[in-house]
Amino acid sequence: MRDTPEAWESRRRRMLTQDLQGRDIEDPRVLKVLGELPREEFVPRLERPAAYADRALRLGRGQTISQPYVVAFMTQALQVEEGMRVLEIGTGSGYQTAVLALLGAEVFSMEVEEDLSLVAEQTLDRLGLGERVTLRVDDGGLGWPEEAPFPRIIVTAASPRPPPALLDQLAPGGRMVLPVGEREGGQTLCLVEKPLVPRPGEAAVSLTPLLKVMFVPLRGKAGYV
Ligand code: SAH
């Protein structure tokens, strides 16, 4: 199949029906955004033919762009509302960033690899999403204290436990979705919820396991030693 706009469109449709709706992605807003966003724009040339494949793709520098299903699953679990401020750790290609921006979020996204952040910035600008996104090259494990608190936080690199700085920067009533577990061999995608009003004698946050996943490790202070 040639890389015509129609060919990309048909691959995107197949991803939507087979890999997302065919599993448990039901949120109509998430399906709409993933059904419209050109994933091929975020994928390096060598991986482009596989842009809509049901797997993670290489981004260079040992990093990956997550499998479409995992992006959809995390976004659905995050429950982003229009106008919400969202902190994202691990900009990577900017694909997840774009999904959040298209859902109407004001996205603050951090990445340690400057090259990746620069490419993501160009892609987001080219697609007209630059205005809704602020990028920063820094250790996301420490969060973005100047902009905190955030009602939503999403982390797309694995850490041994939820980074304490991110727990601090999560707003009361907020949700954070992140992979937690071992560096090698997979992790568990978890939902962290912070109650609106802390109850005496109860933990400050609750943690719900959602899905087995395999992410690249978070580097820096909150990563693996
Ligand atoms: N969400 C991305 C995929 C990210 S892969 C996408 O849709 O393409 C994980 C990313 O986290 C990598 O780009 C990696 O460089 C970045 N990363 C790793 N440790 C980090 C840290 N401490 N702070 C910010 N980004 C980090």
CATH architecture for the domain at 56-213: 3-Layer(aba) Sandwich (3.40)
- Using only the alpha carbons of the chain, give its radius of gyration: 17
Q: Band of the pLDDT at 1, cuts 50, 70, 90?
A: low
pLDDT at 112: 97
Task: Give the closest residue to 137 by CA, choosing from 156, 113, 121.
Answer: 113
Catalytic entry in 66, 93, 109, 159: 66
Read off the pLDDT of residues 13-39 as tens digits, 9 standing for 90 and up.
Answer: 999 999 999 999 999 999 999 999 999
- How far is Cα 206 from Cα 219, in angstroms, rounded to an integer? 24
CB-based contact 215:155 (threshold 8 Å)? no
Q: What is the pLDDT of residue 78?
A: 98
pLDDT digits (tens, 9 = 90+) for 136-180: 999 999 999 999 999 999 999 999 999 999 999 999 999 999 999
- What is the DSSP annotation of 37-79? S-GGGGS-GGGGGGTTSSS-EEEETTEEEPPHHHHHHHHHHHT
Strands 150-155 and 85-89: parallel
What mean pLDDT value characterizes the chain?
Answer: 96
Tokens of 2: 């040639």
> Is residue 61 pLDDT above 60, yes or no?
yes
Pairing of strands 57-60, 63-65: antiparallel
Query: 127 vs 1, which has greater pLDDT?
Result: 127
**Sequence letter at residue 128:** G
Mean pLDDT of 66-72: 98
pLDDT digits (tens, 9 = 90+) for 194-221: 999 988 888 889 999 999 999 999 999 9
129: three-class secondary structure by DSSP: coil
pLDDT at 170: 98
Residues in the ligand 1 pocket, defined by CB under 6 Å: 63-66, 89-90, 92-93, 95-96, 110-113, 116, 139-141, 156-157, 216, 218-220
Considering only CA atoms, which of 42, 105, 102 is closest in space to residue 68?
A: 42
- Residue among 177, 167, 94 nearest 132 (CA): 94
Nearest Cα residue to atom 2 of ligand 1 = 92
